[in-house]
Structure 1
Amino acid sequence: MELRNLKTFQVAAEHLNLTKAAELLGYSQPTITLQIQALERELGHPLLNRVGKRTFLTPAGKTVKQYTDQLFLVLQHMEEGLNSLHLPVGPLVVAAPEFYCTQYMPQMLKAYVETHPQVNLQVISCTSQEALKKIHAHEADIGIIAGASSQPEIFSTIVDLEEFALVASPDIIKGRTMEEALAAYPFLSYQEGCNLDGFITQCLLEIAYVPPSVIKCSSEETIKRAVLNETGVALLSTALVARELRTGELSELYRFSKKAETSLVCLDRRKNEAAIQTFIELVKDVWQTVREE
């Protein structure tokens, strides 16, 4: 039984679309059809059934898909285990929020590829929650996130403690006390499920602040831009708004005593892979230096 035919069936069964499977695998559609037919002959069961323009899995197809999914997951684990025995090599996908990508990644990537040129790095800009999802889905190997992860299958190590402040446009607070400004404008925050939900709640409790209304935003960069546009007030990392605070584009209303972790995360079973391990070590070594530049 050829793994190639099993892989073709797995992709076709996942999407139930032979054209999509051909596109993803780089084959022609007739080749996809021939490979699945060869597998059906070998197994002695039809695997796909077409009704009108729609494709369905037969009962045998559902069974075979269940086992092919397990098979290729085991093969992936084997490959990951073998990779961990060697020097860092191959692709390494890093997922991180936009702020980390722009402020920290350029210097860290330069330092990493100079030491490990055989690793092909890719950086994905996304939210912290999306970074965790990509790691689970094997769309990213390692993530840099705001906060920490308590998920048992995730390895998390702290690289920084960030200060946060309540900030607003100077025009919003002109002629007002902080309490008056907070009562008059909405609070800009992250979408539900943000990795900093608990931290934000503790900060608001510190100043007994109950926002009159809340506007949810997809990223901290969106929140910052909305605050600059006088939409409302927000709790943001002082590193993210350092330039705006220096230039007076934003005013600091309150700096919180609690600090938020910045963490490196990856699947726990992959933390000892050479590429991931060396990247974690480099980030820990240079993070503070990059931050102070």
Structure 2
Amino acid sequence: MELRNLKTFQVAARLLNFTKTAEDLNFAQPTVTAQIQSLEQELNQPLFFRVGKNTFLTPVGKTVEKYTYQIFSLIDEMEQEIQKTSGEQKTITIAASEIFCTYYLPPIISEYLKAFPDVQVKILSCHSDAVIKGIESTEYDIGIITGKSNRSGIKDYVFLEEEWVLVVSKNLYSQYTVDHLFETFPLIEYNDNHFGYHYKQMKEFINKCRLPVHRTIEMSSDEAIKKAALNHIGIGLLTKNFVVEEISSGELVPVLSLESDLKLKNSLIVLEEKLNVTAIKSFWDIMQSYRAAKN
């Protein structure tokens, strides 16, 4: 069944006049008649009948008219979706952990918007599992997670590898030896309730470096751990990028020089099918450039 014949029928059913239908579609009237007849032959049913000078739809014609509106409504919806995924999308939604939303993404978004000022960017804070689910359901366009997704249909790219560092406040460092610090103060680490890969990598780091941990305090955010360390509560275990300013200023001091190949990997993830959307692909490319600059 040809769509052009259905479209001609739809207009003819609305106008109930083949001459006006031809004018509306910019066709010759014989073309309209031929397309209607072709559709009637395919359905093996008459679609119109005449009484004097007036044209009416047959019962079958009324049924076909109802479905033509549904068909062309679906086609319009499909075309709109295709337009979105072919590069016309003007809004992208990025989901990442709180630390990325607060500290890493703002300068990257700033550079992105210089190149794409018409794109609206939405940034949402959530944990890695929620990010992956949102990417799979198409709720989010771009995601940043710790580790890798390893999910079918999702493309991931490790754009940042972070070193672990143990830090204490300048005040504690000036009063205690390293051994005394570990004997006296707790290690402040991530809470297992929210961090899967993150927590696992942290524990591997602690075990591999054979840290003399006697007590721990678990917290659920990098910011909370950093503030606890700054307030002399204990030894904070964080990624180095997150406390580079405090280390440079002397507020926090690394307590051990640790050689370890265990680093926390952070990945950019996106549905493979969305990489043909210009707004999304461009952000992906900028994040790849970000890694190159960091290296």
Q: Say whether residues 1:146 and 2:146 are aligned partners.
A: yes
* 1:76-87 alignment runs, 5 A limit: 82-85=83-86, 87=87
Cα 1:80–1:107 change in 2 (3 A) is farther
| Structure 2 gaps, min length 5 | 1-76
Distance 2:164 2:216 in 1: 18
List per-residue Cα deviations over 1:135-185 (Å, max 9, x = no partner).
345443212233333344543201122222111123334443323312322
Is contact 1:187-1:233 (8 Å) kept?
yes
Distance 2:284 2:162 in 1: 18
Task: Report the Cα offset of residue 98 of structure 1.
Answer: 3.6
What code does the residue aligned with 1:273 have? V
Report the counterpart of residue 211 of structure 1 in structure 2. 213
Structure 1: distance between partners of 2:134 and 2:213: 32
What is residue 260 of structure 2 aligned with on the other side? 257
Equivalent residue of 2:95, what SS?
strand
C-alpha separation in 2, matches of 1:127 and 1:260 = 15
- Equivalent position of 1:178 in the other structure: 178
Q: Is the 8 A contact 1:88 1:116 kept in 2?
A: no
Query: Secondary structure in 1 aligned to 2:241?
Result: coil
Question: For structure 1, which runs of at least 5 residues remain unmatched after alignment?
Answer: 1-75
Residue number in structure 1 paired with 2:289: 285
Q: Is the 8 A contact 2:96 2:143 kept in 1?
A: yes
2:16 is matched with none
Equivalent of 2:226, from 224, 227, 240? 224
Name the Cα RMSD after superposition: 3.0
> Matched residues in 1 for 2:248 and 2:138: separation?
40
Counterpart AA for 1:122: K
Q: 1:82: Cα distance to partner?
A: 4.9
Deviates more, 1:255-264 or 1:221-230: 255-264
* Cα distance in 1, alignment partners of residues 150 and 170 from structure 2: 38
1:99 shift after superposition: 3.4
* Equivalences for residues 27-46 of structure 1 within 5 A: none
Once the two structures are superposed, residues 176-214 of structure 1 have per-residue CA deviations (whole angstroms, 9 ceiling, x without a partner) of 332331232222222214131221122101221263333
Q: Which amino acid in the other structure matches residue 90 of structure 1?
A: K
Please state whether the residue corresponding to 1:188 is helix, strand or coil: strand
- Once residues 97 and 283 of structure 1 are traced to their aligned partners in structure 2, the CA distance between those partners, rounded to angstroms, is 16
* Inter-CA distance 78–219: structure 2 relative to 1 (3 Å threshold): farther
Equivalent runs, 1:52-71 vs 2, <5 Å: none
The letter for the 2-side match of 1:83 is K
SS of 1:117 mapped into structure 2: coil
The residue number in structure 2 matching 1:187 is 187
After superposition, give the CA deviation of every residue in 1:81-140 in whole Å (9 maximum; x if it has no partner).
Answer: 65322x252221112234333443233222222322332111223444443344345443
Distance change >3 Å, CA 227–CA 132, structure 1 → 2: farther
SS at match of 1:262: strand
Asked if the contact 1:220–1:236 (Cα under 8 Å) also holds between the matched residues in 2, the reply is yes
The 1-side partners of 2:94 and 2:78 are apart by: 19
Residue in 2 that maps onto 1:270: 274
SS at match of 1:84: helix
Q: Which has the higher helix share?
A: 2
Q: Within 1, Cα distance between the matches of 2:151 and 2:78?
A: 20
The equivalent residue for 2:107 is 107
* 1:228-257 Cα distance to aligned partner (Å, 9 max, x none): 112221221211111111111111023442
Aligned counterparts of 1:127 and 1:218: Cα–Cα separation in 2: 11
Q: 1:121 to 1:214 in 2, by over 3 A?
A: same
> Number of aligned pairs?
216
Identity across the alignment (%): 27
In structure 2, relative to structure 1, the CA distance for the partners of 1:211 and 1:102 (3 Å cut) is: same
Distance (Å, rounded) in 1 between the aligned partners of 2:254 and 2:246: 10
| TM-score, reference length from structure 2 | 0.63
Q: Secondary structure at the match of 1:94?
A: strand
